[in-house]
C-alpha cells in the first residue's frame, strides 16, 4: 500500500523571498533549491531541459507582451523526475516525484507550477510525515493553523519574520480519491481549494 505526499508551488511570490528567511530557505530546500536559481545537482539536468527559466536569475524587470505579439498555439504538459532519496528532507518514503507543469509551444517552455510527491507504503508513514512537516514549520512561522475539514487534515503556515508577507505554505493530508487505502499530502503556497 503506497500513500502519497504532494508539494505544489504556484509562482505568486517572487523567488528572492525564498533566500531571505529561514522559512523561505526551508521551503526552497524541499524543492531541491530550485527557487533560488542554485538547484541541487540531483535535479539540474531535468530542470535545464524542462524549466530552463529557473536556471538563471532574470536581469531587469518583467515586461508585458508588446501589442504586436502573436501567441503561438500552446499545450500543457507535466514532466516528472523520480527519486528515492531527498538531500534535505528525511522521511519514510519509498519514492518521490518532482513534477514541472509547463505551458509549451514550438518556441518556448513556460513553467506554471511545481509539484513534489512523496510515496509511502503505509498510512502511518504519511501521517507521521504530515506531523514532521508541521513540526518543521512551527518554529519558523508566525502563523500556524492546523485543522480538519471534510475529513482532511490541513496545515497552514506564514513567514515568521514578516507578518505581511505572502510567503505562506499549506499542506493537506487527504485520502486518495482512487485508492481508498492510500493517502496524499498536498503542499505549497497556492493549492486548489476544491481539494477541501
Which string of DSSP letters, residue by residue, matches 95-128?
Answer: EEEEEEEEEE-SS-EEEEEEEEEEEESSHHHHHH
What's the predicted TM-score (pTM) here? 0.73
In a domain, 67, yes or no: no
Q: What value does the mean pLDDT take over residues 37-49?
A: 87
Out of 19-33, 99-113, 180-194, least confident range = 180-194
For 76, residues 6+ apart whose C-beta sits below 8 A from its C-beta are: 101, 102, 103, 104, 112
Counted domains in the chain: 1
In a domain, 50, yes or no: yes
Q: What is the span of the domain harbouring residue 37?
A: 3-55+74-195
Question: What backbone phi and psi angles, to 5 degrees, belong to 58?
Answer: -70, 150
In a domain, 35, yes or no: yes
Q: What value does the mean pLDDT take over residues 86-96?
A: 86
Helix (H, G, I), strand (E, B), or coil: what is residue 183? strand
Residue 67 pLDDT > 50, yes or no?
Answer: no
- Write the DSSP symbol of residue 6: E
Residue 13 pLDDT > 70, yes or no?
Answer: no
pLDDT on residue 164: 58
Q: What value does the mean pLDDT take over residues 29-52?
A: 85
E strands, 15-159, are 75-83, 95-104, 109-120, 141-149, 152-159
Q: Quick one: which H or E segment has residue 7?
A: strand 3-10
Helix (H, G, I), strand (E, B), or coil: what is residue 33? coil
In a domain, 89, yes or no: yes
In a domain, 64, yes or no: no
pLDDT on residue 160: 64
Out of 24-38, 45-59, 144-158, least confident range = 45-59
Model confidence at 61, pLDDT cuts 50, 70, 90, reads: low
pLDDT on residue 72: 56
pLDDT on residue 20: 66
Q: 135 or 107: which carries more pLDDT confidence?
A: 135
Q: What value does the mean pLDDT take over residues 142-170?
A: 81
- 85 is written with which cell numbers? 532519496
In a domain, 172, yes or no: yes
Tell me how far apart the terminal alpha carbons of the chain are, to the nearest angstrom. 24
Q: Quick one: which H or E segment has residue 45?
A: helix 41-50
Q: What value does the mean pLDDT take over residues 135-157?
A: 90
Distances (CA, A) of 174 to 15, 33, 189, 195: 28, 26, 17, 8
In a domain, 135, yes or no: yes
Residue from 175, 179, 180, 181 nearest 195 by CA: 175
In a domain, 61, yes or no: no
Amino acid at each position: 500500500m503506497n500513500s502519497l505526499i504532494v508539494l505544489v508551488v504556484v509562482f505568486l511570490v517572487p523567488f528572492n523571498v525564498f533566500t531571505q528567511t529561514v522559512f523561505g530557505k526551508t521551503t526552497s530546500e524541499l524543492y531541491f533549491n530550485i527557487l533560488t536559481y542554485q538547484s541541487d545537482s540531483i535535479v539540474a539536468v531535468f530542470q535545464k531541459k524542462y524549466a530552463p527559466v529557473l536556471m538563471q536569475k532574470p536581469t531587469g524587470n518583467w515586461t508585458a507582451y508588446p501589442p504586436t505579439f502573436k501567441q503561438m498555439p500552446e499545450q500543457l504538459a507535466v514532466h516528472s523526475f523520480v527519486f528515492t532519496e531527498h538531500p534535505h528532507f528525511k522521511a519514510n518514503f519509498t519514492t518521490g516525484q518532482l513534477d514541472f507543469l509547463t505551458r509549451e509551444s514550438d518556441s518556448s517552455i513556460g513553467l506554471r507550477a511545481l509539484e513534489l510527491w512523496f510515496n509511502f507504503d503505509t498510512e502511518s508513514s504519511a501521517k507521521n510525515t504530515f506531523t514532521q512537516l508541521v513540526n518543521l514549520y512551527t518554529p519558523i512561522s508566525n502563523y500556524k493553523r492546523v485543522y480538519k475539514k471534510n475529513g482532511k487534515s490541513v496545515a497552514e503556515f506564514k513567514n515568521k519574520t514578516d507578518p505581511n508577507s505572502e510567503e505562506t505554505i499549506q499542506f493537506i493530508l487527504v485520502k486518495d480519491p482512487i485508492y481508498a487505502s492510500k493517502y496524499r499530502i498536498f503542499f505549497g503556497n497556492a493549492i486548489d481549494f476544491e481539494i477541501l
